[in-house]
Structure 1
Amino acid sequence: MTKTITVLPGDGIGPEVTDAAVRVLKHIFDHSRTDVRFVEKRIGGAAIEADGTPLPQETIAQCRKSNAVLLGAVGGPKWAGMAAKMRPEQGLLGIRKALGLFANIRPARTFAPLIDASPLKASRVAGVDFVIVRELTGGLYFGKPSERRGPNHEQVVDTLAYSADEIERVVETAFQMAEKRRRKLTSVDKANVLESSRMWREIVNRVAKRHPDVAVTHALVDSTAMQLIACPAQFDVIVTENMFGDILSDEASMITGSLGMLPSASLRTDQLGLYEPVHGSAPDIAGRGVANPLATILSAAFLLRYSLDRAHEAGQIERAVDTVLARGYHTPDLKISGEALDTAGMTDQVITALDEAFTKEKGEMEA
């Protein structure tokens, strides 16, 4: 049966990095003789320009009938002055909500050639490999509409709302992930202040009984923010609510030394997922052909693993990226020694490393 991947290039460097990831995916599928159809739709600022909305209904409909969605980036200063509901970022929030994607997976892993690019000491970031599982559809970002109160609107109210079911499903996802990793889970909240966090902690304790092999630690968000800098290697899987996860995952991204290296996945209970790089649209370098495609290529590896059940091919892509970096190839944003390449050249090197892996694997099978 033909699989369908919807591609949402978005804004800025989005079209450039998604094109790179699609090249890599097509190479994988051609090698395995898998029939996959790619369909491109608009989102974000590009959709505002063409359709008058950051999330056209046509885009939602296409994503809903796909096996997976690959997204580039949305936003840019061009749309900064628009009303909040019309900004490109509403397209991203909207597609997550429309597809029911409740768990955002953000890994933080150091790459040996990039350790010196981290703002932290090499001894502190060596061996860092953890995942933040962030709840995506509840909390402050999706509470009832904000209110401005008082005769001069000098007061404002935002609402943090969660249901028990919303919390339990993302916590269960995190436990399942921890079982496949090092079996350590840190649940992050603000239970000393917020009632929503106290309920969060109760539900984590309840779900933990279903996963006795996973060691659970409860941590306050402010303490966790400090520990991410003091000793990031201690973490395995971190699970937390929407806003806390938004902030902590951006903090964690800097540990690795470059936003251009970090993939992400947004998942639900079935296999449909949305995959995107952590970085933004970088309008200052858009169209110059120098954007780092590796975060999007690694997001494509996530797509293979979580939506298409192709863990082997996902691993091949991840190892190919490691190989390319070990050989000293990099894009200009990575301040390391070696040979700087443009977007297309970096993608070529990943494909070359994949071909080498294919050849080696074939030789081992024939031996």
Structure 2
Amino acid sequence: SGIGVQSLDLVFRCTVLLSVCTSPYRLEVYHRITRYILISFLHFFSFCCNLSPNLKLPPICIPSSLCALFLFCLDFSLPSPSLCSLLGSVPFASILASILKLSTVAIMPSYNIVVFAGDCCGPEVTAEALKALEVVQKCRNDIKFNFQHHNLGGASIDATGTPLTDEALEAAKSADAVILGAIGGPKWGTGSVRPEQGLLKLRKEMGTFGNLRPCYFAAPSLVDISPLKVNVCSNVDFTIVRELTGGIYFGERKEDTGDGHALDTEPYSRAEIERITRLAAHLALQRDPPLPVISLDKANVLATSRLWRKVVSEVIAAEFPQLKISHQLIDSAAMIMVKDPRQLNGIIVTSNLFGDIISDEASVIPGSLGLLPSASLSGIPDGKSKVNGIYEPIHGSAPDIAGKGVVNPVAAILSMAMMLQFSLGRPAEARAIETAVRDVIEAGIRTGDIGGKSSTKEVGNAVAVELEKLLLSQP
């Protein structure tokens, strides 16, 4: 019956909890409780199997069930007549086989994902990105996505008069991750209510202090479409870590009131610089050997840059002495990025304004804005705590080609790989998405911006098909 199945589920969950928290060498009373619950569980399980062999019981996690079963059987302190009776009436091997058979489906972790499709081409690329996640969910029985769709930017202005509603903001703050398509467009202009205000508020309220923009070639053959010579851009592989919630974009300002004067200020605190430096260092340490860290500033002119350089140097020296740190003036780095970008391979860390500009310069190296993903993180993804993030392609809303089915979805799809890696802790699935994208591009299935003739949906469908093959071939 439904009540019986629910009771079994409750009993089993209690058993697992007690089994994990209690060992045979701890308090005897807990041990007795664990043993008696397990006896009840096995009796009930046996009864259900005999009553209806095809009964579908709630999902059971193999490691947890085996842990509980072994704890029950390895009772070193007190003999159990009930156990002897049970083993006499029901073959032990049969019980274990039934448990293993029904345990092929694990308890699924459920991830709440807020989706802001956004404006213009945003909904097009987001739809293809979600296809990749649906394939992951289909091929992995230990993961489930709960998608919540909300408006942001121009779409929200049209619907509510504000670029970001309180409801959408609260949903994003409580989610496991946020997916963003693109926002903005000429329709909404530069008036007092603008789409970009919604994104800035979202970043600030979510505390996404670090923006990650990798620069690499998603497929080897893409070096041929780079505006740089092949011998200059081959093997480029760096990530720009941009401080996202401080600096000039959030400093005090004064608009021109008719007197011909305006003012913007760039405040930075030690705490803000320390935090972004630790994120950059963590990313550098994920590679073996560790990547070099390159800090960009304008310390020869700006007071905030001198503080920046000082704090970055101190944090690396005190907390990450194994890392190599170097400093570059931002204008010098901009020149190097065009002349010999491989000199910047590693982790680049810089302020909000400088990061905004130089990451756009870096985006043209692979040959198209439609190829590169980004992530804005609220913490350091070290597995110790939840790290919410905003995952989006680096390109804008492209109003000139929106709705024509020609926009490149690769950047949006690769953003899902970053989400799986940094917010959801699923690196294997992240690598599978990257491999699927590479294989599809190498097979010649490309949008027009990278020399192909395929539509947005055709590329997205091809990646989904290839991804499914890869995931099903992996254990």
Task: For 1:104 and 1:333, locate their aligned partners in 2 and report how far apart those are by CA, in whole Å.
Answer: 25
Task: For 1:198 and 1:90, locate their aligned partners in 2 and report how far apart those are by CA, in whole Å.
Answer: 30
Q: Which is higher, the Rg of structure 1 or of structure 2?
A: 2
> Offset at 1:180?
1.4
Indicate the residue corresponding to 2:418 in structure 1: 302
Task: For 2:464 and 2:190, locate their aligned partners in 1 and report how far apart those are by CA, in whole Å.
Answer: 41
Query: Which one-letter code corresponds to 2:280 in the other structure?
Result: A
Paired residue for 1:284, among 400, 403, 414? 400
Indicate the residue corresponding to 2:181 in structure 1: 72
- Show the 5 A alignment for 1:192-231: 192-209=300-317, 210-231=319-340
Indicate the residue corresponding to 1:26 in structure 2: 134
Paired residue for 2:295, among 187, 201, 226? 187
Please say if residues 139 and 468 of structure 2, whose CA atoms lie closer than 8 Å, have aligned partners that are also in contact: no
> Offset at 1:332?
1.4
> For the aligned residues, what is the CA RMSD?
1.2
Indicate the residue corresponding to 1:47 in structure 2: 156
Please state if 1:176 is matched with 2:176: no
Structure 1 portions without partners, runs of 5+:
363-367
Please say if residues 146 and 159 of structure 1, whose CA atoms lie closer than 8 Å, have aligned partners that are also in contact: no
Indicate the residue corresponding to 1:107 in structure 2: 214
Task: For 1:106 and 1:165, locate their aligned partners in 2 and report how far apart those are by CA, in whole Å.
Answer: 22
Indicate the residue corresponding to 2:203 in structure 1: 96
Please say if residues 179 and 213 of structure 1, whose CA atoms lie closer than 8 Å, have aligned partners that are also in contact: no
Corresponding residue SS for 1:330: coil
**Structure 1 stretch 110-119 or stretch 68-77: which is displaced more?**
110-119
Query: Which one-letter code corresponds to 2:348 in the other structure?
Result: I
Q: Which has the higher strand share?
A: 1
If the length of structure 1 is used for normalisation, what is the TM-score? Answer: 0.94
Indicate the residue corresponding to 1:245 in structure 2: 355
Corresponding residue SS for 1:71: strand
Q: Which has the higher helix share?
A: 2
Structure number with higher relative contact order (C-alpha < 8 Å, ≥ 6 residues apart) = 1
> Offset at 1:44?
0.4
> Offset at 1:82?
2.0
> Offset at 1:81?
4.2
Corresponding residue SS for 2:403: coil
Residue by residue over 1:144-176, the C-alpha shift from the partner in whole angstroms, topping out at 9 and shown as x without a partner, is: 133437xx4222211100111111101110011
Task: For 1:211 and 1:279, locate their aligned partners in 2 and report how far apart those are by CA, in whole Å.
Answer: 34
Please say if residues 181 and 393 of structure 2, whose CA atoms lie closer than 8 Å, have aligned partners that are also in contact: yes
Paired residue for 2:244, among 136, 157, 170? 136
Indicate the residue corresponding to 1:343 in structure 2: 456
Please say if residues 132 and 239 of structure 1, whose CA atoms lie closer than 8 Å, have aligned partners that are also in contact: yes
Residue by residue over 1:326-353, the C-alpha shift from the partner in whole angstroms, topping out at 9 and shown as x without a partner, is: 1111011212xxx521111111111121
Corresponding residue SS for 1:134: strand
Task: For 2:130 and 2:471, locate their aligned partners in 1 and report how far apart those are by CA, in whole Å.
Answer: 18
Structure 2 portions without partners, runs of 5+:
1-108, 380-385
Query: Which one-letter code corresponds to 2:270 in the other structure?
Result: A
Indicate the residue corresponding to 2:436 in structure 1: 320
Size of the alignment, in residue pairs?
A: 355
Report percent identity of matched pairs: 46
